[in-house]
């Protein structure tokens, strides 16, 4: 039981990071119907920013986690830059396929740029949080979960209650109609990208606080799993991303712990990645709209 | 070019062109300037050509993006490698080099069939989706195949009975006879080329253009989609078999990661979605270029990605688009004056 509980908490922590990333995927997909493959790499951008700014913060005598503000700024700038320089021109001319290929290309670009700039070796990030344990659960874990829920709630309020949020929903519903109603579509898309990428910086903070390592490819697997979380929860839905993230995180950590015992050693813990992808496949085949997604249906 | 005689002439000209290429290859190989390193690059070009043209079937002609093609390549590679190891252990077809070629052909066929089977199994559920969802689900299947291989006992270390999970497979019989591989490559490309020129090819292009209209005129969309996907996976299996026996004698599941799949996607896109000849050119150039520019290898992917974005902005269908180079047309333009070329 002890093991089960600790694995569950573990899963919640990993799931919270996935959820933070999935929120970014969901927002961008909701507004321009694009799987932003580069989103995972925004986390990497955030990670490297933290690697460089955390020592600066400590040197200046400030708490190291304040570095996240800079990371958010950098991530948001990169996100908006990618949208303006690559996605936007392609979207105007090309098909769905060419925007998807552009997204893959941007992901490769960011990963390889990071490799060219900082090398392929992992970088060690200094300790960011020094939190006491509460019971058996580390402070880091609790902070991650709380932060994730708080961000999700704030985002939900932002999208449902503010003017900008209304614009976002309008653009995602019907772009042309939104233009007619006087919504500045380009600005709305840019702000969506900025927020989504900023969330990636948060995810980077929590990831680095736990594993204290950044590499140039850290975002690709993380991004893929978070994307699966977004699909599972229902892409375009903010609470959905949260639920999806937590489910994926828990599925992953529980399957790591128990899969071998349950199947008599046939399927070992090494299959946990495959299990996450299996969840994706089942969801896409059974209910492509996800847990909380609206069933859009194909236009005929 | 619609009448039969003209078409026959076209095939003969193409065959002659392939023979000329083959003799050039023989001359180059016999001249003694080819090191084993260069031979490796040539073999690499061959399997890249098969890989890229087969992926082009799905991306260019079916109009769907598949991100798990390396998974099928892995299935072909491991099937072929393990079968070859088993045959060698049992001393079947190992006596002479010629027997070795036959052994390779049998293993390759097995690899192709197995990859085709996987293509069928993956394709039936996956092809109900399209666009970005299809891309993601193929990626998922590709990763699952890779993880399963990684954890298979028979597919690691010495393989088969002495296998160990999680290690590269070693001691695979080598088959890097470029003459044989050249004709295998030619045959594969020719089959795929005739496929897209056949009524099946026209059907899948109709589905690409408008799947609602195509089902309205009585095409069974699902059947054609799954068929194309299966054929594409089968040839990926052939490419995988060549890859497995290419001369290093080792095979690791890391060779078939998601990045490998994107590598081939890049080649298809740059060559032109819907252009077989474009795929061939892209496969050769993009396989040989990194070897020639070793010093700049670090920046290879950086350059590719920028080029890819630029191509997507300025020519979304890829560099060649759907343009096919034709030897017959080229020769006519050279020798037959302008008028006749225009008529053709």
Report how many helices (DSSP H) and strands (DSSP E) chain A contains, helices first: 12, 2
Residue of B65, B140, B301 with shortest CB distance to A100:
B65
Q: Are the beta carbons of A268 and B151 separated by less than 8 Å?
A: yes
Q: In this predicted model, what pLDDT tens digit does every residue of B29-61 receive, in sequence order?
A: 888 777 888 888 899 999 999 999 999 999 999
CA distance A35 to chain B (A): 7
Look up residue A120 and give its DSSP letter. S
Give B339's contacts (C-beta < 8 A, 6+ positions apart): none
Q: From its phi and psi, is residue A130 left (phi > 0), alpha (psi between -120 and 50) or beta?
A: beta
Q: Are the beta carbons of B313 and A101 separated by less than 8 Å?
A: no
Q: Are the beta carbons of A90 and B129 separated by less than 8 Å?
A: no
pLDDT-derived band at A164, boundaries 50, 70, 90:
very high
Q: Are the beta carbons of B316 and A94 separated by less than 8 Å?
A: yes
Q: In this predicted model, what pLDDT tens digit does every residue of B275-330 receive, in sequence order?
A: 999 999 999 998 888 877 777 777 888 888 898 899 888 888 888 877 888 887 88
The length of chain B in residues reads: 344
Question: A134 burial class (0-12, 13-18, 19+ CB within 10 angstroms)?
Answer: exposed
Regions of chain B with pLDDT less than 70: 1-2, 336-344
Task: Count the neighbouring beta carbons within 10 Å of the beta carbon of residue A259.
Answer: 18
Chain Cα centroid distance, residue A43? 8
At B341 the pLDDT is: 47
| Domain boundaries, given as residue ranges, for chain B | 38-259
- Residue A214: both structure tokens together: 């950044």
Q: What is the DSSP string of B260-286?
A: HHHHHHHHHHHH-TT-HHHHHHHHHHH
Test mutation, A38, A81, A94, A105, chain B, max B CBs within 10 A: A105
Give A133's contacts (C-beta < 8 A, 6+ positions apart): A139
pLDDT-derived band at A91, boundaries 50, 70, 90:
confident
pLDDT-derived band at A295, boundaries 50, 70, 90:
low
Give B142's contacts (C-beta < 8 A, 6+ positions apart): B67, B68, B69, B70, B71, B72, B256, B258, B261
Alpha helices (H) along chain B: 4-30, 36-56, 69-89, 97-126, 131-151, 178-197, 199-209, 211-216, 221-244, 258-271, 276-292, 300-314, 327-335, 337-343
Q: In this predicted model, what pLDDT tens digit does every residue of A196-251 receive, in sequence order?
A: 999 999 899 988 888 888 988 888 888 888 989 998 998 888 889 999 999 999 98
In angstroms, the CA A44 to CA A67 distance is 15
- Residue B301: both structure tokens together: 């992917």
């Amino acid at each position: 039981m002890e093991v089960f509980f600790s694995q569950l908490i573990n899963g919640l922590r990993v799931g919270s990071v996935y959820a933070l990333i999935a929120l970014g995927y969901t927002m961008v997909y909701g507004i321009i119907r694009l799987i932003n493959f580069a989103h995972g790499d925004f986390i990497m951008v955030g990670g490297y920013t933290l690697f460089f700014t955390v020592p600066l913060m400590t040197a200046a005598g400030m708490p190291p986690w304040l570095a996240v503000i800079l990371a958010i700024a950098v991530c948001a700038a990169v996100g908006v830059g990618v949208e303006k320089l690559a996605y936007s021109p392609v979207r105007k001319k090309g098909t769905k396929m060419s925007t998807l290929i552009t997204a893959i290309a941007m992901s490769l670009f960011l990963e390889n740029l990071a490799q060219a700039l900082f090398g392929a070796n992992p970088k060690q990030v200094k300790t960011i949080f020094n939190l006491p344990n509460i019971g058996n659960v580390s402070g880091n874990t609790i902070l991650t979960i709380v932060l994730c829920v708080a961000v999700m709630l704030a985002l939900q309020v932002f999208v449902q209650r503010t003017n900008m949020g209304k614009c976002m929903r309008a653009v995602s519903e019907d772009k042309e109609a939104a233009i007619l109603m006087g919504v500045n579509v380009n600005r709305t898309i840019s702000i969506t990208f900025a927020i989504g990428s900023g969330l990636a910086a948060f995810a980077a903070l929590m990831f680095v606080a736990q594993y204290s390592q950044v590499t140039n490819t850290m975002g690709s697997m993380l991004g893929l799993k978070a994307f699966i979380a977004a699909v599972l929860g229902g892409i375009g839905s903010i609470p959905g991303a949260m639920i999806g993230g937590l489910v994926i995180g828990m599925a992953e950590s529980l399957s790591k712990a128990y899969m071998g015992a349950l199947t008599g050693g046939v399927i070992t813990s090494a299959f946990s990645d495959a299990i996450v992808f299996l969840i994706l496949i089942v969801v896409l085949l059974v209910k492509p709209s996800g847990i909380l997604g609206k069933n859009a249906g194909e236009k005929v | 070019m619609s009448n039969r005689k003209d078409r026959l002439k076209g095939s003969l000209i193409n065959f002659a062109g392939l023979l000329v290429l083959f003799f050039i290859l023989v001359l180059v190989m016999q001249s003694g300037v080819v090191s084993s390193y260069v031979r490796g690059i040539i073999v690499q070009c061959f399997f890249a050509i098969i890989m890229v043209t087969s992926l082009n079937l799905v991306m260019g002609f079916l109009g769907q993006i598949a991100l798990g093609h390396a998974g099928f390549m892995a299935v072909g590679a491991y099937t072929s490698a393990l079968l070859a190891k088993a045959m060698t252990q049992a001393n079947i077809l190992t006596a002479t080099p010629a027997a070795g070629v036959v052994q390779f052909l049998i293993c390759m066929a097995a690899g192709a069939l197995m990859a085709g089977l996987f293509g069928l199994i993956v394709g039936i559920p996956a092809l109900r989706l399209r666009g970005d969802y299809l891309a993601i689900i193929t990626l998922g299947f590709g990763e699952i195949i890779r993880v399963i291989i990684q954890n298979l006992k028979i597919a690691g270390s010495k393989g088969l009975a002495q296998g160990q999970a999680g290690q590269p497979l070693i001691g695979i019989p080598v088959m890097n006879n470029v003459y044989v591989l050249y004709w295998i490559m030619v045959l594969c490309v020719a089959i795929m080329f005739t496929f897209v020129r056949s009524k099946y090819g026209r059907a899948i292009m109709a589905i690409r253009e408008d799947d609602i209209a195509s089902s309205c005129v009585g095409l069974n969309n699902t059947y054609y989609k799954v068929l194309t996907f299966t054929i594409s996976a089968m040839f990926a299996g052939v490419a995988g078999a060549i890859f497995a026996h290419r001369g290093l004698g080792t095979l690791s599941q890391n060779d078939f990661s998601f990045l490998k799949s994107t590598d081939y996607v890049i080649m298809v896109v740059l060559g032109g979605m819907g252009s077989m000849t474009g795929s061939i050119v892209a496969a050769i150039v993009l396989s040989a270029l990194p070897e020639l520019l070793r010093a700049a290898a670090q920046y290879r992917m950086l350059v590719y990605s920028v080029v890819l974005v630029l191509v997507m902005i300025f020519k979304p269908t890829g560099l060649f688009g759907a343009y096919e180079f034709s030897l017959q047309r080229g020769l006519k333009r050279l020798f037959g004056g302008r008028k006749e070329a225009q008529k053709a």
